[in-house]
């Protein structure tokens, strides 16, 4: 926007009309130029990842997605040539455990977040009024402003020992016998359930805020009609007002899922960084694609053939495709619904 | 009959109680995090910490505080023109194919995980362009991250202005540039500014895009944009809490407190700007 | 409407804010000191943090930043020219040296590695462990502390009937490098299946934990009863503070030894004479009755060709000071991190390599 002062200054009040013709196209050009930047940036990102990951793709092919075989190979052996490509002996890249860890933690997070978000949105839109509503909604929105790494810190120092002592023992012994996935051993507190709980806290405010705005925009007549039919306050809110916001809720939930899928630092600090195995129960260590890129980038750089760095680009590409697809689905859904209304 | 009504009243009360419980749980978690950071960070933070640089796992945070502000500040300086420009394009060319594509692009960019941007920045800027760990590499990566938020908030702010404003301006023979700069942007200044403040807060709180672009430095920024790593607060939190030294933990908690204060001040500031803007109308 | 900011005004304010911050940072630019960036090994990190304040005191013209990121990062970022000193417990591989022939692997001190465990009630005792048993644990073949193979090494010890939680490093790590070398050199099947490196493909042992850096390892063992981990000896104060057990390891001669100055020096005495001029050699599993099996050179991985003479000069001064017995290798530093100083002939070799650094 460095050109703004110049543009405005170039339009003295008297000559404004005439001048406007001369800089109208210039303004349009400038605008187009600025607007092109995000498009080019995204294009560059996609092209870069595809091109950079390409040499690593034939090594495992589709097995990249369905096997638990992440192995940089023998870093101290001489590289070998396979299909015309230099790589380390024993190198193979299979990230099923990362895909499962990412999807499971994000999905579980959304499952935890959903009831909390719906109830808190009802509270904010239907029950609280005036200052209390403002205060509570401000506080819940601040939850979204807490930096990821602070969630990681809090999770690492407070939440893990807290959950391990007060919740996981109960779950293991009381729920475990009924639901095998809750059975022990419950390990260290680092793992799938802890990651999902931290992620849930991080995404709740996103759903709450969107749903609250949707609820607040519902015409008052709808509520009054509900009440007139003899519904209690909560029944009217739940059955009439909330029902009208089903699509908004769905869209916001998918959006939250997208955020949880790409979350990095907090997960890195509480997930236990599992490698090459799938979680055998809900307490087991996991790793996610985003956290794995941070923790493996330095090791990958030691591969003299550069193949490991390219395999990380493959992970970044898979993560990008998943999050982008999820985000687009949510936005299109919300937009489609918005237009119909 | 009265039994059924009673049961429904009970259910209604139970529903509201659950809603209140959910609200209390969320507010409780926030307060716990705030208290946790405040107690531990408050005990660790001292004036000296603000005025000295990090030395190994001890010392102060001056280098990290200025580094955080520099990285996000420069990121904003790069991201605001592009973001606001894109936002204007979205709002003023709405309906055109280009704007629809741009809108999609902005949505996609919001969803790009920050570590993917960090990886991209590292391989392209730091390694291939040879910028090294630097302010420029960190700030540019952050700019890419902030950009879609600024664009979207500008777009929404301009969209919410009454059409009559545009119509009357055009009727008076006002050009588009003048309309946007003199009439629309001033009218939407509050929400646009809010978007910028929130983008600043997002940048300050980020870690993943910076680890491999800005790296870390124990010293104040030396004025170089390239080939000079920059320290920042979130690095201290992530890295130092895992060190087994008490002095390192103190720095991590103090850094967490400072970053929380900055981010909350920005978030609340953003809300206040909006309130001020809309208060007379309400 | 009156109190709304005009766009140019609020943008100006934003820019003024940015400029103010820039000016604040720019004030430091005036100092124009030489910057040396050190990153890498979390094992060398505490030593660098002892060195830097003392060195900076007598050399005010140089600013040294330190970071604990793991040897993998140290190696790769030094090769990429992103930092001046890559701290590493591991030397560069032959393939990497072929690609980057101007890299120097300069030993600064000799370190060793502990194997620690957290066995309630047994942490006060030194359990006996061997390469093959550790290989069994880390490959998932030995899963219980009460396993016959562990019992055979520790007759008379009431080993708990509990699942073993092996902890390994997730970051590229010199500790992983020397630990897996011990397993590889002592256990042929481990060498065939997993070999060694700063990052290896760990067997999927259920319940096994990955940790970041030595500090993360200490924390993980502390927080998880029945776990076992390999931890650099510069974290001995932390492992002792956490009351972790420390294992006696079986050496090549078949004796069980603890990492002590005596046993580390014995191993060094056997291996230092074999060190080639480029000093890239494993000191693991040294011969000798008293030799501790996991010792290593702590390397500064440095590019011989530095961007300018000023940086090269300061770097040479720093490294020469570091390897001198009157400087960085002095007893007062070494003792604090439980390192052993370089023997005279090794220090001599290091100096010869340092002399190759040029601007």
pLDDT per residue as tens digits for the range C194-253:
889 888 888 878 778 888 778 889 988 988 899 999 999 988 988 999 999 999 999 999
* CB within 8 Å of chain A, chain B residues 234-273: 234, 237-238, 241, 252-253, 256, 259-260, 263-264, 266-268, 271
Number of domains in chain A: 1
Q: Do A16 and B174 touch (CB under 8 A)?
A: yes
Nearest to C95 among A1, A78, A285 (CB): A78
Nearest to C75 among A78, A287, A302 (CB): A302
At residue B217, the pLDDT reads 87
Q: Model pTM?
A: 0.88
d(CA C26, CA B74): 13
Which has more confidence, B38 or B275? B38
Residue B149 contacts residue B199 (beta carbons within 8 Å): yes
Q: Do A123 and B252 touch (CB under 8 A)?
A: no
Pairing of strands C103-117, C245-246: antiparallel
Whether residue A151 has pLDDT greater than 90: yes
d(CA C105, CA C90): 9
**In this structure, what token pair is assigned to residue A290?**
């985003």
Fold topology of C112-274: D-Maltodextrin-Binding Protein; domain 2 (3.40.190)
Give me the helices (H) in chain B, please.
2-44, 47-51, 62-92, 97-111, 114-121, 135-159, 163-171, 176-178, 185-187, 189-205, 208-211, 233-240, 246-278
Q: Which DSSP string corresponds to C209-244?
A: EEESHHHHHHHHHHHSTTEEEEEEGGGHHHHHHTT-
Nearest to B54 by CA among B42, B68, B40: B68
Q: Do B80 and C11 touch (CB under 8 A)?
A: yes
**In this structure, what token pair is assigned to residue C26?**
């720019």
Count of CB atoms situated within 10 Å of the CB of A127? 18
At residue C24, the pLDDT reads 53
Domain holding A274, by residue range, is: 96-295
For B171, nearest residue in chain A (alpha carbons): A17
At residue B32, the pLDDT reads 96
| Per-residue pLDDT tens over the stretch A101-133 | 999 999 999 999 999 999 999 999 888 888 888
At residue B74, the pLDDT reads 96
DSSP code at position C146: T
- Any idea which residue has 């465990």 for tokens? C117
Residue A155 domain flag = yes
- Any idea which residue has 């920050």 for tokens? B114
- Any idea which residue has 């032959």 for tokens? C94
Count of CB atoms situated within 10 Å of the CB of B52? 15
Which chain B residues are Cβ-neighbours of A237 within 8 angstroms? 15
For B6, nearest residue in chain A (alpha carbons): A232
Instruction: Say which residues have a Cβ less than 8 Å from residue C156's Cβ, sequence separation at least 6.
Output: none
C94 touches chain A (CB under 8 A): yes
C-alpha dihedral sign at C251, C257, C260, C261: negative
Quick one: pLDDT band at residue C319, thresholds 50, 70, 90? very high
C81 touches chain A (CB under 8 A): no
d(CA B278, CA B280): 6
Strands (E), C69-164: 85-88, 103-117, 128-129
- What does the angle CA C14 – CA C15 – CA C21 come to, to the nearest 5 degrees? 95
At residue A14, the pLDDT reads 40
B9 touches chain A (CB under 8 A): yes
Count of CB atoms situated within 10 Å of the CB of B274? 14
- Average pLDDT value for residue range B170-186: 83
Residue A239 contacts residue A122 (beta carbons within 8 Å): no
Average model confidence (pLDDT) for chain B? 89
- Any idea which residue has 């931890």 for tokens? C231
Instruction: State the best of A151, A265, A266, A291 to mutate against chain B, taking most chain B CBs within 10 Å.
Output: A265
d(CA B273, CA B270): 5
Count of CB atoms situated within 10 Å of the CB of C341? 23
Residue A189 contacts residue A162 (beta carbons within 8 Å): no
Whether residue A4 has pLDDT greater than 70: no
- CA B163 to the chain's CA centroid: 30
Question: Please, which chains are in contact with A (at least 3 CB pairs closer than 8 A)?
Answer: B, C
Q: Do C66 and B228 touch (CB under 8 A)?
A: no
Whether residue B1 has pLDDT greater than 70: no
Q: Do A4 and C7 touch (CB under 8 A)?
A: yes
Whether residue C2 has pLDDT greater than 60: no
Q: Do B189 and C49 touch (CB under 8 A)?
A: no
Which chain A residues are Cβ-neighbours of B180 within 8 angstroms? 27
Which chain A residues are Cβ-neighbours of C195 within 8 angstroms? 74, 76-77, 90
Instruction: State the best of A157, A273, A286 to mutate against chain C, taking most chain C CBs within 10 Å.
Output: A273
Q: Residue A123 maps to which CATH number?
A: 1.10.3720.10
At residue A3, the pLDDT reads 39
**Strongest mean pLDDT among B153-162, C42-51, C139-148:** C139-148
d(CA C220, CA A156): 11
C204 touches chain A (CB under 8 A): yes
Whether residue C11 has pLDDT greater than 90: no
C73 touches chain A (CB under 8 A): yes
Quick one: pLDDT band at residue A338, thresholds 50, 70, 90? low
* CB within 8 Å of chain A, chain B residues 47-66: none
| Per-residue pLDDT tens over the stretch A287-322 | 999 999 998 888 888 888 889 999 999 999 999 999
Q: Do C63 and B219 touch (CB under 8 A)?
A: yes
Instruction: State the best of C197, C223, C228, C301 to mutate against chain A, taking most chain A CBs within 10 Å.
Output: C197
For C6, nearest residue in chain B (alpha carbons): B186
Residue B79 contacts residue B200 (beta carbons within 8 Å): no
At residue C1, the pLDDT reads 36
Q: Do A150 and B259 touch (CB under 8 A)?
A: yes
- Average pLDDT value for residue range C190-194: 92
d(CA C17, CA C29): 19
C-alpha count within 13 angstroms, C-beta hemisphere, residue C235:
32
Question: Please, which chains are in contact with C (at least 3 CB pairs closer than 8 A)?
Answer: A, B
For the domain made up of C35-111+296-354, the CATH class stated in words is alpha beta
Instruction: State the best of B212, B222, B247, B280 to mutate against chain C, taking most chain C CBs within 10 Å.
Output: B222
Instruction: State the best of C8, C13, C207, C215 to mutate against chain A, taking most chain A CBs within 10 Å.
Output: C207
3-class state of residue C346 by DSSP:
helix
A vs B, Cβ pairs < 8 A, gives 278
**In this structure, what token pair is assigned to residue A242?**
């909330």
Distance from CA of C266 to the nearest CA of B (A): 30
Q: Do B242 and C216 touch (CB under 8 A)?
A: yes
At residue A16, the pLDDT reads 43
- CA C190 to the chain's CA centroid: 22
Which has more confidence, A265 or B8? A265
- Average pLDDT value for residue range A139-167: 92
- Any idea which residue has 């405010």 for tokens? A205
Q: Rg of chain C over CA atoms, in angstroms?
A: 23
At residue A82, the pLDDT reads 83
Task: Give the number of residues written for chain A.
Answer: 341
Average model confidence (pLDDT) for chain A? 85
At residue A60, the pLDDT reads 85
Nearest to C218 among B239, B244, B276 (CB): B244
At residue C28, the pLDDT reads 46
Distance from CA of A256 to the nearest CA of C (A): 28
For B193, nearest residue in chain C (alpha carbons): C10
Residue A244 domain flag = yes
At residue B107, the pLDDT reads 87
C-alpha to C-alpha distances, A46 to A35, A79, A314, A324, B109, nearest whole angstrom = 18, 29, 11, 11, 11
For B258, nearest residue in chain A (alpha carbons): A150
Residue A251 domain flag = yes
Nearest to A298 among C76, C163, C197 (CB): C76
| Per-residue pLDDT tens over the stretch A176-208 | 888 888 887 777 788 999 999 999 999 999 999
Count of CB atoms situated within 10 Å of the CB of B135? 28
Whether residue B26 has pLDDT greater than 80: yes
Average model confidence (pLDDT) for chain C? 88
Nearest to C10 among B57, B67, B193 (CB): B193
Nearest to C322 by CA among C32, C79, C59: C59
Task: Give the number of residues written for chain C.
Answer: 359
Using an 8 Å CB-CB cutoff, list residues of chain B that contact chain C: 55-57, 66-67, 69-70, 73-74, 76-77, 80, 84, 126-127, 132-133, 181, 185-187, 189-190, 192-193, 196, 215-224, 228-229, 239, 242-244, 276-277
Whether residue A223 has pLDDT greater than 50: yes
d(CA B84, CA C169): 45
Q: Do A327 and B107 touch (CB under 8 A)?
A: yes
Quick one: pLDDT band at residue C144, thresholds 50, 70, 90? very high
Distance from CA of C356 to the nearest CA of A (A): 24
3-class state of residue C340 by DSSP:
strand
Exposed e or buried b per residue across B16-32, where buried means at least 16 C-beta atoms within 10 angstroms of its C-beta: bebbbebbeebbebbee
Q: Do B70 and C21 touch (CB under 8 A)?
A: yes
For B175, nearest residue in chain A (alpha carbons): A20
- Average pLDDT value for residue range C336-355: 94
Instruction: State the best of B236, B242, B251 to mutate against chain C, taking most chain C CBs within 10 Å.
Output: B242
Quick one: pLDDT band at residue A275, thresholds 50, 70, 90? confident
d(CA B53, CA B48): 9
At residue A202, the pLDDT reads 95
Count of CB atoms situated within 10 Å of the CB of C235? 27
C-alpha to C-alpha distances, B239 to A311, B126, B244, C210, C215, nearest whole angstrom = 26, 21, 11, 16, 10
Q: Do B219 and C235 touch (CB under 8 A)?
A: no
Instruction: Say which residues have a Cβ less than 8 Å from residue C47's Cβ, sequence separation at least 6.
Output: C108, C109, C234, C298, C328, C333, C336, C337, C339
Pairing of strands C165-169, C227-232: parallel
Whether residue A19 has pLDDT greater than 50: no
d(CA C128, CA A180): 37
3-class state of residue A254 by DSSP:
helix
């Amino acid at each position: 926007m460095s050109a703004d002062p110049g543009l405005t200054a170039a339009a003295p009040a008297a000559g404004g009309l005439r001048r406007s013709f001369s800089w109208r196209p210039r303004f349009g050009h400038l605008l187009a130029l600025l607007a092109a930047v995000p498009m080019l940036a995204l294009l560059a990102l996609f092209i870069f990842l595809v091109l950079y990951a390409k040499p690593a793709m034939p090594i495992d092919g589709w097995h990249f997605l369905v096997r638990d075989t992440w192995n940089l190979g023998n870093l101290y052996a001489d590289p070998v040539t396979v299909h015309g490509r230099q790589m380390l002996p024993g190198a193979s890249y299979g990230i099923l455990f990362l895909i499962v860890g990412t999807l499971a933690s994000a999905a579980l997070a959304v499952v935890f977040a959903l009831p909390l978000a719906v109830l808190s949105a009802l509270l904010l839109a239907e029950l609280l009024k005036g200052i209390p509503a403002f205060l509570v909604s401000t506080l819940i929105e601040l939850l979204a402003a807490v930096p990821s790494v602070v969630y990681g810190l809090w999770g690492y120092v407070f939440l893990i020992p807290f959950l391990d002592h007060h919740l996981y023992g109960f779950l293991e012994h009381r729920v475990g016998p009924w639901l095998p996935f809750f059975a022990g051993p419950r390990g260290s507190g680092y793992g799938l359930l802890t990651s999902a709980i931290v992620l849930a806290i991080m995404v709740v405010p996103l759903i709450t805020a969107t749903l609250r705005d949707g609820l607040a925009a519902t015409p008052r007549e709808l509520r009054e009609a509900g009440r007139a039919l003899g519904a209690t306050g909560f029944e009217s809110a739940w059955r009439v007002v909330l029902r009208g916001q089903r699509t908004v809720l769905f869209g916001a939930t998918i959006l939250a899922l997208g955020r949880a899928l790409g979350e990095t630092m907090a997960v890195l600090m509480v997930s236990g960084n599992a490698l090459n195995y799938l979680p055998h129960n809900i307490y087991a260590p996991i790793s996610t694609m985003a956290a794995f890129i941070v923790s493996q980038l330095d090791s990958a750089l030691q591969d003299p053939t550069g193949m490991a760095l390219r395999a990380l680009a493959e992970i970044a590409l898979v993560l990008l495709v998943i999050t982008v697809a999820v985000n687009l689905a949510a936005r299109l859904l919300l937009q489609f619904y918005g237009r119909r209304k | 009959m009265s039994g059924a009504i009673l049961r429904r009243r009970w259910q209604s009360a139970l529903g509201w109680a659950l809603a209140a419980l959910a609200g209390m749980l969320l507010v409780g978690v926030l307060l716990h995090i705030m208290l946790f950071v405040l107690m531990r960070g408050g005990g660790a933070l001292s004036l000296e910490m603000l005025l000295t640089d990090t030395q190994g796992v001890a010392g102060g945070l001056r280098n990290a505080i200025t580094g955080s502000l520099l990285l996000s500040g420069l990121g904003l300086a790069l991201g605001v023109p592009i973001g606001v420009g894109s936002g204007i394009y979205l709002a003023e060319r709405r309906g055109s194919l280009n704007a629809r594509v741009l809108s999609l692009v902005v949505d996609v960019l919001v969803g790009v995980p920050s570590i993917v941007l960090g990886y991209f920045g590292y391989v392209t800027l730091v390694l291939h362009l040879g910028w090294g760990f630097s302010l420029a590499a960190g700030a540019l990566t952050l700019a890419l991250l902030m950009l879609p938020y600024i664009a979207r908030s500008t777009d929404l702010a301009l969209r919410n202005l009454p059409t009559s404003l545009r119509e009357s301006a055009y009727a008076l023979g006002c050009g588009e540039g003048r309309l946007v700069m003199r009439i629309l942007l001033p009218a939407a200044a509050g929400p646009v500014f809010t978007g910028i403040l929130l983008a600043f807060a997002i940048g300050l709180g980020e870690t993943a895009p910076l680890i491999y672009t800005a790296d870390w430095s124990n010293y104040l920024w030396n004025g170089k944009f390239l080939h000079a790593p920059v320290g920042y607060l979130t690095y201290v939190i992530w890295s130092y809490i895992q060190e087994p030294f008490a002095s390192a933990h103190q720095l991590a908690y103090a850094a967490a407190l400072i970053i929380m204060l900055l981010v909350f001040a920005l978030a609340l500031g953003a809300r206040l700007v909006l309130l001020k803007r809309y208060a007379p109308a309400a | 409407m009156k109190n709304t900011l005009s766009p140019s005004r609020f943008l100006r304010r934003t820019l003024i804010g940015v400029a103010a911050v820039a000016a604040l940072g720019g004030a430091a630019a005036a100092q124009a000191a030489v910057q040396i960036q050190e990153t890498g090994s979390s094992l060398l990190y505490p030593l660098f943090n002892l060195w830097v304040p003392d060195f900076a005191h007598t050399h005010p013209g140089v600013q040294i930043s330190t970071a604990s990121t793991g040897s993998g990062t140290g190696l790769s970022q030094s090769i990429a020219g992103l930092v001046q000193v890559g701290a590493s417990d591991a030397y560069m591989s032959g393939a990497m040296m072929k690609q980057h022939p101007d890299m120097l692997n300069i030993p600064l001190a000799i370190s060793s590695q502990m194997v620690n465990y957290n066995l309630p009630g047994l942490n006060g005792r030194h359990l006996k462990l061997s390469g093959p048993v550790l290989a069994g644990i880390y490959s998932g073949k030995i899963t219980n502390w009460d396993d016959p193979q562990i019992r055979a090494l520790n007759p008379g010890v009431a080993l708990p009937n509990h699942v073993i939680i092996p902890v390994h490093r997730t970051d590229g790590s010199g500790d992983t490098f020397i630990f897996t070398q011990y397993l590889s050199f002592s256990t042929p099947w481990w060498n065939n299946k997993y070999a060694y490196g700063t990052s290896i493909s760990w067997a999927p042992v259920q319940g096994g934990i990955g940790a970041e850096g030595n500090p993360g390892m200490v924390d993980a063992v502390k927080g998880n009863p029945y776990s076992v981990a390999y931890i650099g000896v510069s974290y001995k104060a932390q492992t002792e503070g956490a009351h972790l057990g420390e294992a006696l390891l079986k050496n090549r001669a078949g004796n069980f030894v603890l990492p002590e100055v005596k046993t580390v020096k014995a191993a060094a005495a056997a291996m230092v004479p074999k060190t080639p001029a480029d000093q890239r050699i494993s000191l693991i599993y040294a011969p000798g009755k008293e030799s501790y099996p996991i010792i290593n050179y702590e390397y500064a991985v440095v590019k011989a060709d530095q961007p300018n003479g000023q940086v090269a000069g300061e770097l040479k001064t720093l490294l020469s000071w570091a390897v001198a017995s009157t400087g960085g290798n002095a007893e007062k530093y070494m003792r604090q991190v439980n390192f052993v100083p370089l023997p005279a002939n090794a220090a001599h070799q290091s100096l010869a390599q340092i002399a190759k650094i040029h601007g």
